[in-house]
Amino acid sequence: MLLLSALALGLVESTGQNVASGIGRGGVADTSASGEDNMWDSNTTFRLDSSPVEWAIGMDLTTACPTMRRPHHLYYQLGNALMAVAFLAPGGPYGQLWLRSVLVIGCVLMAMWGWLVECTVDAFIWAIVFLVINFIHVIVLLFRLRPVKFEKEIESVS
């Protein structure tokens, strides 16, 4: 808890080193001879232009993502788009059927992305797990929504 409080106050950087004593990622901010000129050096820890978020969490956000990667493959984009559309389903049994059916299609696309594009086993396995869960829900919902029909002789008894 003390470490979280120190992080919030900016006394400890995310590397766990003590900023207050001048030991940081980029070294000590030299405030000798030229003063203000050294504060703008790229290797100093203390900067004058830090945002409130940077100050609150005690880390430099410009190094968090130095280069942006290209967007993911079309399978990933379509899978997530279908999942977003699925969650717009109305309430009720037919809305649940819509939700689970579209989620099955989205999970198929996510599994294809994980296996064919990203080539990672974990992304593929998670997509398959969610695919199986949603497919089972679709089957259960279809059995619940099917009309129950009796022969005319049995219906005439009641």
Domain boundaries, the chain: 96-147
pTM of the model: 0.53
pLDDT at residue 52 is higher than 70: no
The 10s digit of each residue's pLDDT in 89-110 is 898 999 999 999 999 999 999 9
Give CA–CA dist 94/96, Å, rounded: 5
Q: Is residue 63 over pLDDT 70?
A: no
What mean pLDDT comes out for the span 41-54? 50
3-state secondary structure 129-157: HHHHHHHHHHHHHHHHHCCCCCCHHHHHH
